[in-house]
Amino acid sequence: MRLGVAASLVGDALVPGDVSVDSGRVSGLGLAPAGAAGLAVPGFVDVQVNGVAGVDFLSADAGGYARASRALARTGVTAFQPTLVSSPIESVGKAIATLAMLDPMPGARVLPAHLEGPFLSPLHHGAHDPRHLLAASREVADSLCGLGPVGYVTVAPEIEGGLALVRHLVSRGLVVSLGHTDADADAAAAAFDGGARAVTHVFNAMRRWAPRDPGVSGVALSRPDVFVTAIIDGVHLARETVQLLLAAAGSRLVLITDAIEAAGLGDGTYHLGDREVHVRGDEARLADGTLAGSVLAMDRAIRNLISAGASLELAVGAATRAPARLLGRPDLGELRVGGNADIVVLDGSLEVARTLVAGGEVYAA
């Protein structure tokens, strides 16, 4: 099957010509004759999304996941990590067990869960209910991971037992990110040396950078082995901060949405776990004004990043190759002959025109 596109983004190269797909795989790139319009790029990968389209992943059933999968595909996402915020352990366990029973989805692929908590700092709990935070515990972590697919955990390494938990989770093959943390530079460096691979929504809910106390954000930006995840929605980070990230992190920058169930639905009152969230415009906040996730879509995050000065190649890479590398998933985030045909076709305004997962069309504008 030919897609009829004018060009494709293969690595950092714009390749003129059409793309073909057969049996769920990319079978040709740069084919003549080229289509009339459209740019084929790898499917987007979101490593932090709490919900979308009225679905909160902490309480979602199989039908909710199907609705979310379709909604995310409309924004170009072809694979996502359901993110579970700090909540009663029983609720988190039930959500993980639901993941274990899911059938293949009609839209974006469901990846193993991202546990954003409960092993976080009470000093930087953000929108997380501090009543649900716990000291770092291998036993609790292992119990949760035993209930279903978990692939990624955000940890504050400076809390009691935090560094040991980082090392333990890494030894189990999980991706560890540092976030909601008061870690100083030494604690952050020790955790990264212990195998942590990323920082969660950089500059938000963490110790502030200072000239002689750079904290986790400063350490992450200074290390070439650390990925930096960021919410580029015009709310969480100033434009100049985004430009700093582009200069310092470059290809290590990973776009996340941190979207909540309100994404795609407009203003109103919603939930993030058991917390009530008020949405107005682009802002999602608790009653006290604390930011509580976002209503961002991944295609818009890419356009926002380009507006801040990123090249098309870097911006798309921040939603495709970079998160795939962070997760250690060479089957995601790349267009290559023989690779998975998870593909997004963008129009001239970089809006999503089509989304394909395993070569099957799951969205068409």
Catalytic residues: 258
The 10 Å Cβ neighbour count of residue 164 is: 14
What is the rounded distance in angstroms from the CA atom of residue 49 to the CA atom of residue 44?
Answer: 13
* Among 215, 227, 156, residue whose Cα is nearest residue 186: 215
Q: 186: phi > 0 → left, psi -120 to 50 → alpha, else beta; which? A: alpha
The amino acid present at 35, given as its one-letter code, is: G
Q: How far is residue 57 from each of residues 17, 97, 177, 354, measured CA to CA in Å?
A: 39, 12, 20, 25
What's 106's DSSP letter?
Answer: S
How far does CA 364 lie from the centroid of its chain? 23
Beta strand 109-110 with 51-52 is unpaired
Sign of CA dihedral 276, 142, 79, 103: negative
DSSP string covering 229-262: EE--SSSSS-HHHHHHHHHHHGGGEEE---B-TT
What is the SS3 assignment for 263?
Answer: coil
Output the CA–CA distances (angstroms, integers) from residue 94 to 78, 86, 107, 193, in the order listed.
Answer: 25, 13, 23, 33
Peptide bond into 118 cis (omega under 30): yes
